[in-house]
Amino acid sequence: MRRALALSLAAAAAVASGVLAARAQDALTREKELGECRSLMADRDFAAAEPRLEVFVKRHRQGDAVEEAALLLARARLLAGRPQDCLDTLRPLVESAPKGLWTDKARWLMADAFVALRNWKDAADALRSRDEFLASDDHRRSIADLYLA
C-alpha cells in the first residue's frame, strides 16, 4: 500500500516537473520572440516587425507580453502610415485591459493616431483622461512622496 502510494507520488512529481519545465521553456521562447520584435522596432524595420508581432499576439493571446506586443504592433502600423489600423489594434487592448500595464501608453498612441487622422476631438478626449489623472491630487502626492522619501 505504501509502496503504491510512493510510486504514484513519484509519478505525479515527474509529471508536474515536466509541466513546469514546459512552461518555463514556453516563457523563454516567448521572451526571445518578443525581444526579436523589440529589436526590429528599434531598428525601425516595421515591415518585418508587423507580421512577427501579429503571429505573437495570435499565438499567445493573453498576458503582459501580449499587451506589449499589441502596443508594438499598433506603433508599427502608425509609423508605417496606417493610423486606422493602429486604432483597430489598440481598441481591443484598451477594452480588454482598462487598467493593464500598457493601457496608458496605448491611450497616448491612440491620441497620436487620431491626430494623424485629423480627428482632433477624439485625440483631445484620449488625452483628457490621462491629463485629469496627471493633474490629480493623488498623482501629485505620489510624485511628492518620491522626492521626499
pLDDT tens column, 23-51: 566 778 888 888 998 988 999 999 999 99
Spatial contact of 106 and 74, defined as CB atoms under 8 Å apart: yes
Residue 74, judged by CB atoms within 10 A of its CB (0-12, 13-18, 19+), counts as: buried
Instruction: State the pLDDT confidence band at 108, using cuts at 50, 70 and 90.
Output: very high
Q: What is the pLDDT of residue 76?
A: 95
Percent of the chain with pLDDT over 70: 83
pLDDT surpasses 60 at 84:
yes
pLDDT tens column, 3-29: 665 556 555 555 555 555 555 667 788
Spatial contact of 70 and 57, defined as CB atoms under 8 Å apart: yes
Give the span between the Cα atoms of 114 and 2, in whole angstroms: 68
Spatial contact of 117 and 84, defined as CB atoms under 8 Å apart: yes
Helix or strand or coil: residue 98? coil
Give the span between the Cα atoms of 52 and 146, in whole angstroms: 39
Angle at 99 between CA 93 and CA 102, to 5 degrees: 55
Instruction: State the pLDDT confidence band at 128, using cuts at 50, 70 and 90.
Output: confident
Asked whether the whole model's pTM tops 0.85, one would answer: no
Please state at what angle helix 64-79 crosses helix 83-96, rounded to 10 degrees: 160
Q: What is the pLDDT of residue 112?
A: 95
**DSSP, res 82:** -
